[in-house]
Amino acid sequence: MDGSTKPAAAGKGLARTAGALAGIKVVDLTRVLGGPYCTMILSDHGADVIKVEPPQGDEVRDWGPPFHEGDASYFIGVNRNKRSLGLDISKPEGRAVLLRLLEDADVLIENFKPGSMEKWGIGYDVLSEKFPGLIHCRISGFGADGPLGGLPGYDAILQAMTGLMSINGDASTGPMRLGTAIVDMGTGLYSAVGILMALHERGTSGRGQYLDMTLYDCGMALLHPQAANFFLNGKRPAGTGNPHPNLVPYDKYPTRTCEIFIASGNNGQFRKLCELIGRPELADDPRFGSNGERNVNRAALTEALAAAFADQDGNELSLRLIRNGVPAGPVLPVDESTAAPHTAHREMVTELDWYRGIGTPIKFSRTQGGTRRPPPKYGEHATDVLEQHGYSEEEIAALQRDGVLHVKRRV
């Protein structure tokens, strides 16, 4: 079996084609979140991703509860469609197996501490000689050099260091961590984009290359519009909470039934908003005549809008607004958003056997991706993968006996 294996018909959000990346082979040495998120994106669209785990396994298998058969939701959420192989590449025999896997691979992705692969004699300088077409993507905290080179990276620490935390929250809370691991997941997304760029360029040059992806760089790249504002006005951005620093009204408001969010981006939308809530005079008030004036007088406008929304049914109001061209929506908790009718229509909750997860947001007209197999148990595909790469039963047994191949996690 390989990454093109199609799932049974029963389920939701399943892959219906081989995928846009069918035929691409990825050897995945990453753990935790950024790398696995990247490779799940690739595997959703047909890439054959072989997840090579260390003897102790990907540590996020333990990051629960909740668990399914010993694997935590944190692992389950970013590892579907992959095949798992437990391998000790700190041993020469393990590195020999890895090199066998790389013989026909298109991509190697890893997130070891910079210098680890080089210490083992399998850094990019060596691998590029053996496999000139290989794309080697390394994800690290800060890169190998520079003032912080070689240091480990963690999402919350990078949120703090890149300024992302300083622009979240408000004056009453001070800097706050974003509730989702935005730096890790952003790095996974940027890495997927970089890998696809490298694959495209290889089609012309015939050569692979090295991608130096860091949490630090990717965290910095997410500072919009705060960095753009700072570069233009020289003022230190601060957390504004829900309100937008540039647009008004762009904020959360209470209603009789729920909270809603309004995101009015221009004068036409603001005038339409005022008409739809029965307060057309607000659009004619000189304090609110343009976005710049609304920004200066945001406190007065916020008070007026909050009063207008107080007796409204938020769900009905937000739907009426957005259907009339004013961006608005109810503020939903996760259980309600994942159960929403449009979520089902877009197949954004995927199901296969016991597995449920968030589906792929990348929708193709011809090469539709999706779920092909549930997240793997540790070492589940060891025999399949090694036999596919020419290992005999006797050789596989020897690798297991010598502590190179692992089918159970080392405690």
So what's the pLDDT on residue 97? Answer: 98
Strand partners, 116: none
Q: Which position has the token pair 């399949």?
A: 384
The dihedral of CA 84, 87, 90, 96: what is its sign? negative
Secondary-structure percent of the chain, ordered helix, strand, coil, rounded to 5: 40, 15, 45
Burial class (CB in 10 A: 0-12, 13-18, 19+), 164: buried
- Dig out the tokens for 398 from the structure: 């020897």
pTM (predicted TM-score): 0.93
What whole-number distance in Å separates Cα of residue 6 and Cα of residue 159?
A: 39
Each residue of 266-321: pLDDT tens digit? 999 999 999 999 999 999 999 999 999 999 999 999 999 999 999 999 999 999 99
Catalytic (active-site) positions: 184
Q: Which position has the token pair 């007209």?
A: 365
- Dig out the tokens for 335 from the structure: 């259980």
- Dig out the tokens for 174 from the structure: 């001070």
Would you say 328 and 309 are in contact if contact means Cβ atoms under 8 Å apart? no
- For the chain (length 411 residues), average pLDDT per consecutive 10? 52 96 98 98 98 97 97 98 97 97 98 95 97 98 96 96 95 95 98 98 98 98 96 94 90 96 94 96 95 95 95 96 96 96 97 97 97 98 97 97 96 83
**Domains of the chain in sequence order:** 25-222+345-406 (3.40.50.10540), 259-330 (3.30.1540.10)
